[in-house]
Chains A and B, each alone.
Chain A
Amino acid sequence: MTTISSVAAQDSALPRLRVDLLPLLLVPVLALLMLPLIGSFPTWVTLTVAGLAMGMMVFMMASGLTLIFGLMDVLNFGHGAFVSVGAFTATLVLLPMKGWVEADSILMNLSVVGLAILLAMLVTGILGWAFERIIIRPVYGLHLKQILITMGGMIVAEQLIHVIWGAEQIPLQLPTTFRGAFIIGDAALEKYRLIAVGVGLTVFVTMFLVLNRTKVGLLIRAGVENGEMVEALGYRIRRLFVGVFMAGSALAGLGGVMWGLYKETLTAAIGGEITVLVFIVIIIGGLGSVGGCFIGAMLVALVANYAGFLAPKVALVSDILLMVTVLLWRPQGLYPVAKR
Chain B
Amino acid sequence: MPVVTFLPAGVSVEADPGTSLLDAARQANVPIRNDCGGQGICTRCQVEVKRGEVAGRGSGGGLAEGRFLACRTLVAESDLEVYLPEETREVETEVTLRRTDPFPADYPPPGAMVETVELDLPAPNLDDNVSDSERLVRRLRKWRDAEYHIPLGVLKDLPVRLRDAQWRADVTVSVEPWGSRILRVGRPARKKPYMVAVDIGTTAIKAQLLAPEAGWVASCYNSQVMFGPDVISRIIHCQRDEEHGCPALKQLVVQDIERLIAALLDAQGVEREDVWALVVSGNTTMIHLFLGLYPVWIRREPYVGCAYLLAPVRPEDVGVNINPAGRVFCLPAVSSYVGADITAGVLATGLGDRKRPSALIDLGTNGEIAIGCEEFLVCCSASAGPAFEGGGSASGTRARPGAVESVWSEGTLRWRTVGDEPPVGICGTGYIDLLATLVRERIMDKTGRFVAGAPGVVQRDDEFLYVLAPAEQAAGGRDIILTQADVENLVRAKGAIYAAGSVLLESLGMDWGDLETIMLAGGFGDRLNKDNAVTIGLLPDVPRERIAFVGNTSLQGAVMVAQDAANYWKARDIAGKMTYFELSTHPDFMDRFVSACFLPHTDTEKFPSVSAAQE
Partners in one complex: no
The residues of B with any CB-CB pair to A shorter than 8 Å are none
